[in-house]
Structure 1
Amino acid sequence: MKKIVMAAMLVAFSATNLVAQEEKTEKVEKTETTETTETAEETLKAEEAAKLAAAAKAEEAAKLAEKAAKQAEKEQKAADKKAKKEAKEIKNKEKEAKKAAKLKNSIAKQNKNISKVERKIAKLENKLSQDTAAGKLSPVAIEKLKSSIAKTKLKLVKENIKLTKLERKQ
């Protein structure tokens, strides 16, 4: 716009040099247009470079954020795995403690059974010896008592075997 106004002023002030000034004006306009075009192109290039730089920064920031997210996810998985492992260890320890307590109770019960069988054997042998000395037993009753004592001793042996197996587990 300024160029046109300038050209109009030049035409109005100097009618004699109209042709020369028109050529001059055209040259000036071409140079100014060229300079303006070059400046506009440089501005566009600078804007594009700024856009590219911003896009590169944004892409780099996105990559860093993605990398940080992956790292956080990896750390979370490791923490979950560690917590799961610790929970499993605690559960196993509790299970072993229950098993040990159960085994202890089984051994105590087996000892109680053995002492009960031993008392029964002692009672039967005592009855056999006392009644035989008193002459109260017939030969069939004596055989019956001896058979009962033998069965009870066999039961005692079995109970002792069970006890040794339990003690081995302990």
Structure 2
Amino acid sequence: MFLKPRHIVPVARGALVLGVLAVVALTLGPFAGAEEIFGLNDKLAHALAFGGLLAIAFFAFPFRRRIDMMLIALAIGAGVEIAQAYVSRSSSLLDFVADAAGIYAVYVISMIERWRWMIREQGALTFAEIAAMDARRAARRANVTFEPQEGSAEAANFAERASQRFPAR
């Protein structure tokens, strides 16, 4: 069996589901202080957990935009902090800031790799030329073409069109 890069996707999706379940269980369950077993403090554990989830999500959904996945990860982090207020855990804005820091760190690293690829592959092009080649942007732009209407050759100006519609008495 020959492994291909696309074989990583189902494994990453399974790991992402397990990771999200683990993070939700650890942050909402009665496991306060569990991060100290690994020698981490609370904020570092939050940053590593949510940054790790985003890194796995990049492999799990290779055709999704990174910014969208980053926003979803931030929403999950905010949701966990809000949910902690309703269980026997304490919610903290600093925990959410730690989540966001881990998420943003992974996002920046992924963007650095994208910029490195652009420099290698498209270094001689301007940003406008690169944007024009982007297939995602071309799909959003509507191809607007104006076709002349039937009979418009005879009625080239307003006066001629008006005289056809309203003949003289």
Q: TM-score range by the shorter chain?
A: under 0.3
Larger Rg: 1
Q: TM-score, normalised by structure 1?
A: 0.27
**Bigger fraction of residues in helix:** 1
